[in-house]
Structure 1
Amino acid sequence: MHKWACAGYGAGMLWVRRALVERHRFPFAGWLSVEHPERMENRRLELRHTAQAAEVGIFAFDVPLRLGAALRLLESVGFDAIHRRIVELTDRLRAGLASLGITPLTPDDPAIRSGITSFPVADPEDFVAALAERQVIASPRRGAVRVALHACNDEADVDAALEAIRQVARAADWRWPRRPRPPVAGG
């Protein structure tokens, strides 16, 4: 949540149905995950059977302040307006990728689309490193390059990313992996 809420690292929320917390154990534990953390008992692990079991470390007192301020800011802009802006920017990015002959892997439907657009490349790590040299931040993800936009970006950011993608593709005579075509019915 810290990314999209613009609240800094460590800011997030977790909701878990009480029945699930009581039936399952969290896959991690910390000193605040136990029934009586103040006892500093290291010989027994008596985990809490509440959502507090997810509290694995020292509480960061600034996190709720940052998260609250970030959510108030986002709410003042309007969550629908932010979503529309992100869709506008990703539409621009997707159109630019299409002009380069690149088909995104992420959904086309704006109703379920986020600011993330991924596209396949043969070597995502090298491609992302070359983009970084051109001041474009992206991430390698599962055989693809992932570009993440938010409402704080603008058209110039998208155009700069597209120009960098074009340069990297041209410089490396990049070969775009072909997406497998779905099988033809009856064939």
Structure 2
Amino acid sequence: DLQKAQNERTAIICMSYVQYSNGFRINLEELGNIKNDHTLVINASQAAGAFEIDVKRMKIDALCSTGHKWMLAGYGSGFLYLSRKLLDDTRARAIGWLSVEEPFADRNREFQLRTDAASRAELGCPHFAGIFALGASVDYMMKIGTKRIEERVLQLNRYLTDRLSDEGWRVLSPLRTESSRSAETLVAADNPKLVVEHLARRNVLVTEKPQGIRISTHFFNNEEDIERLIVALNETRTE
């Protein structure tokens, strides 16, 4: 129990919003309410783009995410959020030439760090292609609506887990409550490598895990995709 584990030595609580291994999604609002005065750091790489995130309501102090997963922006992009309090209370461990006030003054004996988070964290030349791709992805998702995306993602995951259970496949993802459901599902398989290879031949891409396979569905998928997956999965039982 996370609340019981906190003591006078606790400084930071660092968690993933969604666990990459089995798709378990933590309740960030509950976590924010029990963090007390500790700094809450969240890795949202397996959630940003699929689930709504409100850093103020969830009392998140720092959040990071890659852009190449559920944000659909390709490799080399990502983003970082730092609360104003965390910015004021901390000092950068590494800086670049654009991290300081008057960067073109080329002062090597002294410098004054900029107070805005984005420039303080830039250690070199920006990756413009990744930034433009991430920006286009954000614009596209905002037009669809983050709430609509989350609802569709959860709807597809419910359909997926129901169909897997109907066909006798054992779902390993912890789904004791709906709040722990995400867009990723871990399914038991005796020989994950062979299952992944067979599905790939059917143009169905999943991820190999030690216990089985991880299946992920985003808002652009549909029920027909899931039925095609089920058919291909059942074929592995006869191989």
The corresponding residue for 1:130 is: 198
Q: CA deviation at 1:157?
A: 0.6
Q: 1:67 to 1:98 in 2, by over 3 A?
A: same
Q: TM-score, normalised by structure 2?
A: 0.55
* Amino acid of the structure 1 residue aligned with 2:75: Y
* Amino acid of the structure 2 residue aligned with 1:79: T
> What secondary structure, in the 3-state scheme, does the structure 1 residue paired with 2:230 have?
helix
> What secondary structure, in the 3-state scheme, does the structure 1 residue paired with 2:178 have?
coil
Higher strand share: 2
Q: Distance in 2 between matches of 1:114 and 1:136?
A: 20
The corresponding residue for 1:115 is: 183
Higher helix share: 1
The corresponding residue for 2:37 is: none
The corresponding residue for 2:43 is: none
Q: Distance in 2 between matches of 1:77 and 1:127?
A: 34
* Equivalences, count: 153
The corresponding residue for 1:59 is: 126
Matched, 1:89 2:156: yes
5+ residue gaps, structure 2: 1-65, 99-112
The corresponding residue for 2:135 is: 68
Q: CA deviation at 1:15?
A: 3.2
* Amino acid of the structure 1 residue aligned with 2:171: P
Q: CA deviation at 1:95?
A: 1.1
5+ residue gaps, structure 1: 26-32, 38-47, 173-187
Q: 1:122 to 1:137 in 2, by over 3 A?
A: same
1:128/1:140 contact within 8 Å kept: yes
The corresponding residue for 1:177 is: none
Q: 1:60 to 1:156 in 2, by over 3 A?
A: same
Question: After the TM superposition, which residues 90-105 of structure 1 pair with which residues of structure 2 at under 5 Å, given as runs?
Answer: 90-105=157-172
* Amino acid of the structure 1 residue aligned with 2:166: S
Q: CA deviation at 1:138?
A: 0.3
RMSD of aligned residue pairs (Cα, Å): 2.8
Q: CA deviation at 1:36?
A: 5.7
> What secondary structure, in the 3-state scheme, does the structure 2 residue paired with 1:15 have?
strand
